[in-house]
Amino acid sequence: MSDESVQELWDAKYRSGHRERYPWDAVVSFLFRHAPRDRARDAVRVLEVGFGTGNNLWCAAREGFAVAGVEFSEAAVIVARARFVDEQLAGDLQHGSFTALPFSDGYADLAIDRAAITCASRDDAVLAVSELHRVLQPGGRVLSCLYATQSTSASSGTRGTDGRRHDITSGTLTNVGPLRFYDETEVRDLFAAWRVISLARHDRTEYAGEPIVHAEWHVIAEKPL
C-alpha cells in the first residue's frame, strides 16, 4: 500500500463519518504535567503532528493554549477546522507532512505525536523527529506514542522494505494502513539527540477470545538547552 493509498484510506474514513472527538488521556496528562508554568497558557504553543480531526488540539485550545498542527488527510483537516469555527476556538490547523513542518525554528513549547510517526517508514520517522526537534524551543518537550513489537498486530501481514508491516489482519490495528513497530533500542535510537525524560511501554491484553495484545511506547523527551 503506497502512502497515497493510505491517504485515500483515511480520507474515505473521515468522509464517511469517522471522528476522534475527545483527547487521549496520555495527551491530557502530558499537557498539564509539562506545560511551562512561568507563562500564561495563551503564551504556550502546542503543536501536534497527525492531529486527525483535532481532538487533542481541541482540548488544548479549550484549556487556553495556543495550538497548531499538521495532518496529511485533507478530509480530517476540514472536519477539525469546522469544529474549531463552530466552537469559536483559535488554531493553525494545516494540511501537510510531518517530514517538512511549516513552522519556524523554536516555534513551539510542546509537541504531540499520538501514533502518527509510527505510521511512517524508518527514514520518514527520522525526518519527522528531526523536524520536531527543529521547531521546538530549547527545553521544549514532546510526547511520542509508537506501537511496540509486543503487539499482536506486529506479527501480522507482511514486512515491507520500508520496515513497516503491511496488510495487517489481526490484533487491534487492522484497516489503518502500514505501521512500523518499535523495540526499545529503536525508540532510543530515534530520540538519540534528545534528553529522554520518560520511556514507558503500555501493554493491554484482551481475553474475551484469543488473547490479543496492544502495546505502545510512550516517550517524553526534551530538546536539550
Average the pLDDT over 54-61 and give the result.
98
Helix (H, G, I), strand (E, B) or coil at 22: coil
- pLDDT by residue (tens digit) across 104-159? 999 999 999 999 999 999 999 999 999 999 999 999 999 999 999 999 999 999 99
Give backbone dihedrals phi and psi of 112, rounded to 5 degrees, phi first: -125, 130
Q: Is residue 34 a contact partner of residue 68, using CB atoms and an 8 Å limit?
A: no
| Cell of residue 8, nine digits | 485515500
Q: Is residue 177 a contact partner of residue 171, using CB atoms and an 8 Å limit?
A: no
Q: Is pLDDT of 1 > 60?
A: no
Average the pLDDT over 171-186 and give the result.
96
CA dist., res. 147 & res. 108, Å (int): 25
List the CATH code of the domain at 21-51+98-222.
3.40.50.150
Q: Which residues contact 89 (CB under 8 A, 6 or more apart)?
A: 58, 61, 62, 83
Q: Which residues contact 2 (CB under 8 A, 6 or more apart)?
A: none
Q: Is residue 217 a contact partner of residue 200, using CB atoms and an 8 Å limit?
A: yes
Q: Which residues contact 223 (CB under 8 A, 6 or more apart)?
A: 133, 136, 137, 138, 139, 140, 141, 142, 194, 195
Which residue in the block uniquely carries the three cell numbers 472527538?
A: 21
pTM: 0.96
In whole numbers, what is the pLDDT of the chain averaged over residues?
Answer: 96
Helix (H, G, I), strand (E, B) or coil at 92: strand
Q: Is residue 109 a contact partner of residue 143, using CB atoms and an 8 Å limit?
A: no
pLDDT of residue 7: 85
What is the layout of strands, in order, in the sheet containing 136-147?
Answer: 92-95, 66-71, 45-49, 108-114, 136-147, 212-222, 195-206
Q: Is pLDDT of 2 > 70?
A: no
pLDDT of residue 9: 86
- pLDDT by residue (tens digit) across 66-76? 999 999 999 99
Q: Please state the domain extents for the chain.
A: 21-51+98-222
